[in-house]
Every structure is written in C-alpha cells, then in structure tokens.
Chains A and B, each alone.
Chain A
C-alpha cells in the first residue's frame, strides 16, 4: 500500500527506506528531498567540482536504492548514508588524484571589489580552495561535522574512526583553514 506524500513527510528516514524498498514512490521522493542536496554539497566540498559532485551524488543514491529492499530499522540511515558518500568520494579522489593535482587553482585576487556579493563570492572561493587543500580525511571530517551537521559519534562512525581520532582530524583541519583564511578575510575586509 503506497504511503501518501503527506504521511511520508512525517516518517523517519528508516521507515521511508523500508517503504522505498517496496517501490513506494512517495517515500523515494521524500528521501531525495531530504538528502540529495546535502549529499551534493558534501560531494562538492569533498571533490571540488560541481559536475563531479552531481555524478557522485547520483552514485550514492543508486546505492541507497540498491540497499532499500533489505533495509532494517535497526540501522541509522544518516550515518550509513554518509559512510557511503564518504567512500564514494574518497574512491573518486583516489582515481582522480593525478588529475586533481594538476588542476590549476584560481589565485585569489587581492584587489577590492565594490559589490558585497562579489566579496562573498571571493571569500567562498577562498574557503573552497582552503578546503580542497586539506588532506582527504581532514576534509571529510570537517565537512561531515561543520557543513553536514553530523554529531561527533555519527561522523566518527561514518568515517570508521574513533571519536578521539575524529576530534584530532577536526582540530588539525580547522587550524589549517584558519591559518589560510584569516589573513585573506582580513585583507578583504581592509579593502572595503
């Protein structure tokens, strides 16, 4: 029996997965609405390009649909989802390592821009570059915890590390990001 969309919106991710495994269209749509955008963002921050991010997000959801028919409510969907996304992205990075190293990175333009929107866009580019410059595990850790909002236990489980190891990765990632971004942000502010 198909779940109407309105009732599907009230279901937990785990219940939606069970219904999706039975071919419930409404359940699939709600899962996509809830998580596809976040997975695209996660992939974008992990691998650096929008085109690759969408392809990787699609790959993640193909695995979601493959797992749905045998899903049980005991497993926490979000943790599992980001474990899959982490593995998919890390596999992609490993395959593209030589190409990624050769990609020309945009050089930050220190000249002041009159538009606030442009200011935000440049800062965003700096952040994206700083994120891309992190080691993969640090980048994954900070993306899961800061950008995707996972709790420390969930992020550690998704990465297959202890909470202590996660905290170490996060601390190093934030220190590196801070060291790179604070001078650039100060320069941008000073130029206004």
Chain B
C-alpha cells in the first residue's frame, strides 16, 4: 500500500492489516493508521479482531532481545575505520621532501634564465634611415604628412649638426631675420 495516500478503511482491509502487522497502531501503514484506528473505535467487530491481534503480539513479545557481549563490541570497534597517521620515521621526510623540491625548483629557476638575445640586431645608420620612405631626415618622418617645409620652419636653436638636418648658426640667423623671428628664439 502507498504509505503516502489516505485510503478509505473497510473491515476487510482492517483484517488484512491486523493479520500482517498485529495490534500495535505504530506498526500499521502510516496512510491507513488514522482510518483503521477510527474503525476499531466505532465497530465492535473491528475491536474483536484488534484484541485477538494484540494477544498474539503479547506472545511474540515473550522473546527477549539479545544484548551484544562486550567481546563482540570490542571486536567490532577494533575493525572500524581509522584516521591514517604518518609513521614517526616518515614525519621528517614529510617536511624535508617538500623543502628539497622547493630548493631544486629555485635553483632551476635561477640558473636556467639567460639574457634573451634578439634573434637579430640591426642598427640602422642615418643613411639607411634616410633612405627609408624617401625621407630626408628624422624630422621628416614627423613632418612629412603635414607638407610642411621644415627647412623654413625649424627654429634657429643653434644646431650645427649636419647629420640631424639642422643648418648652421649663420643660416639660422639669416632665416630668422627673414621670418621676423629672433635668432635663437625657441618657439
């Protein structure tokens, strides 16, 4: 019988319950317990069947329960699972092994690192740079997209290094006077 469904109680079903489970309501199927109890209370025939079942229960209960011996309890507990603890001689190893592994790792890390050399080093001299993109000078790279004539617009700051595309001081002074800019003035 489904223990979760409330079933209507009949004398026939009560007889089956008492035959199988006896007279103790706590042993009856949970879903039928309340209805069976009500029928026993309301029906004399049901009460008669219930009393007969209880009498047999009393006879069955004459059989005592067995207590386990102390020796059995001890044997059972001796076989119970135990927490595994490391043996005494393994405890130093449990500390030393990880330390040794860490030291080996540190040694490998420090000795295996080398300066990363580029696959190739190419130093471009000025002539090569100037040849790139058809530019005439480093500042041409910056000013090339703006169609600015850098020669006329580079302030005279006294640069005399021809490799940098600068004019000498005399030329700078001349241009400055032409453009109305004070010689040496920095924009």
Question: How extensive is the interface on chain A, given as a class?
Answer: 35 or more
Minimum C-beta distance from A168 to chain B (A): 8
Check A61 against B66 for contact (C-beta < 8 Å): no
Q: Produce 1/0 per residue, A12-54, CB < 8 A to B.
A: 0000000011111100110010001110110011000010011
CB under 8 Å from chain B, chain A span 135-153: 142, 145-147, 149, 151-153
Min Cβ gap A118→B in Å is 13
Residue of A nearest to B82 (CB): A23
Q: How far is the CA of A54 from the CA of B69 in the complex (A)?
A: 8
Nearest CB on B from A79, distance (A)? 13
Task: Provide the residues of chain B in CB contact with A170, threshold 8 Å.
Answer: 19-21
B79: Cβ under 8 A from any A Cβ? yes
**Is A160 an interface position by the 8 A CB rule?**
no
In the complex, are the beta carbons of A124 and B66 less than 8 A apart? no
Q: Are B3 and A174 neighbours in the complex by a CB distance under 8 Å? A: no
In the assembled complex, A131 has its CB within 8 A of some CB on chain B? yes
**Which listed residue, A36, A53, A127, A153, touches B76 by the CB 8 Å rule?**
A36
Give the most central of B27, B57, B79, B81: most A CB within 10 Å: B81
Q: Is A84 an interface residue (CB 8 A)?
A: no
Minimum Cβ distance to chain B for residue A30 (Å)? 11
Any chain B CB within 8 A of the CB of A158?
no
Q: A20-B81, A23-B84, A65-B80 are in contact. Are A50 and B59 (CB under 8 A)?
A: no
User: What is the CB-to-nearest-CB distance from A44 to chain B, in angstroms, rounded to a whole number?
Assistant: 5
A69 CB-CB contact with B under 8 Å: yes
Q: Is the CB of B81 within 8 A of A65?
A: yes
Q: Is B95 an interface residue (CB 8 A)?
A: no
Contact B20 A22 (CB under 8 A): no
Complex Cα–Cα for A142 and B64 (A): 15
A153 to chain B, nearest CB (A): 5
CA of A151 to CA of B65, assembled, Å: 19
Answer whether residue B75 sits at the interface, using C-beta atoms and an 8 A cutoff.
Answer: yes
- Known A28-B81, A145-B27, A171-B16: A123·B59 in contact at CB below 8 Å: yes
The interface residues of chain B lying within 8 Å CB-to-CB of A124 are 62-64
Contacting A at CB under 8 A, from B60-119, are: 60, 62-69, 72-73, 75-77, 79-84
Q: Please tell me if A177 contacts chain B, counting CB pairs below 8 Å.
A: yes
Q: In whole angstroms, what is the CA distance A163 to B30 when docked? A: 13
Beyond known contacts A45-B63, A54-B69: 12 more, CB 8 A cutoff: A22-B81, A37-B67, A41-B65, A58-B75, A58-B76, A58-B79, A65-B79, A151-B30, A152-B3, A167-B1, A177-B60, A178-B59
